[in-house]
């Protein structure tokens, strides 16, 4: 799928931002930063800079690779992560967000009650201890 085909599937505000930024210099997004109406949620682990994007106004969360939904909600497998420990901790950042719909980098979207589904997954799995200094 081309950038333009992808842009057709995105919410209008995000699509406008993606198309407007095409060809500009890349920069790191900060956790909590708002860009095109979306709030950045850092979720490093799969890659050092993994993020999700939360749209409160659209009640949607774009999870990228923080979680996948290929065979039910899961964290990325250990063999594809930059840091498996961080990848297991990253989904905990989603616990306090409210969203009806969730879009995953892999697997089908959840279009109703997504935050409840993600919280149920987080409750079922073994807690991941934070790193100690």
Confidence of residue 51 (pLDDT cuts 50, 70, 90): very high
Is pLDDT of 116 > 70?
yes
Confidence of residue 3 (pLDDT cuts 50, 70, 90): very low
In terms of phi and psi (left: phi > 0; alpha: psi -120 to 50; beta: otherwise), the region of 64 is left
**pLDDT value at position 28?**
77
Please tell me the pTM assigned to this model: 0.77
Which run of H or E residues covers position 118?
helix 114-124
In terms of phi and psi (left: phi > 0; alpha: psi -120 to 50; beta: otherwise), the region of 36 is left
User: Rounded CA gap, 58 and 119, in Å?
Assistant: 19
Exposed, middle or buried: residue 43 (CB in 10 Å: 0-12, 13-18, 19+)?
Answer: buried
Where are the domains positioned within the chain?
31-124
Q: How many CB atoms lie within 10 A of CB 45?
A: 22
Give the right CATH number for 31-124 from 3.60.15.10, 3.40.1410.10, 3.30.300.30, 3.30.70.270.
Answer: 3.60.15.10
Give the pair of three-digit tokens for residue 3. 């950038």
Does 29 or 8 have the greater pLDDT score? 29
């Amino acid at each position: 799928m081309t950038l333009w085909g992808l842009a057709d599937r995105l919410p209008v505000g995000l699509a406008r931002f993606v198309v407007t930024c095409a060809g500009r210099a890349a920069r790191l997004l900060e956790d909590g930063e708002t860009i095109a109406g979306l709030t950045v949620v850092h979720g490093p682990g799969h890659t050092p800079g993994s993020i999700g994007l939360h749209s409160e106004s659209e009640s949607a969360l774009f999870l990228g690779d923080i979680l996948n939904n290929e065979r039910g909600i899961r964290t990325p497998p250990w063999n594809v992560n930059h840091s498996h420990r961080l990848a297991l901790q990253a989904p905990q950042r989603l616990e306090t967000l409210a969203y009806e719909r969730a879009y995953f980098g892999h697997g089908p979207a959840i279009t109703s009650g997504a935050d409840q589904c993600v919280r149920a997954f987080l409750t079922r799995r073994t807690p991941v201890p934070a790193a100690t200094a």
